Amino acid sequence: MWERLGGDPMPLLDTAAGQCKLAAIYNEYADAASRWRLPIVLFAPTWRANRDHARPRDNARAIEFVRRFSSCVGALMGPRGDCYSPQAALSR
């Protein structure tokens, strides 16, 4: 998703135009699965949705949005900071 949009998809949930853009992509995936009679798990645009990058309920909103396209939904959680910088690692 990130690659197709050229950036973080989470902010697209904030506008009707952004939701249309996301819906077009999710519909494409769901339609392909349906056409070929394959199961599909769609993942919400939550990769950077942590306390530093998202507002409360952003993750829940993302999951609710994606459930419109599949009953099997997942959500990935990425790094909080710079995953390539040991100084930015979370404490135990």
What's the CA gap between 15 and 29, in Å, rounded?
21
pLDDT in tens, 14-46: 999 999 999 999 999 999 999 999 999 999 998
pTM: 0.81
Q: Which two tokens stand for residue 81?
A: 């900071």
- State the pLDDT at residue 17: 97
Tell me: pLDDT of 65 over 80: yes
Nearest to 8 by CA among 68, 36, 49, 39: 49
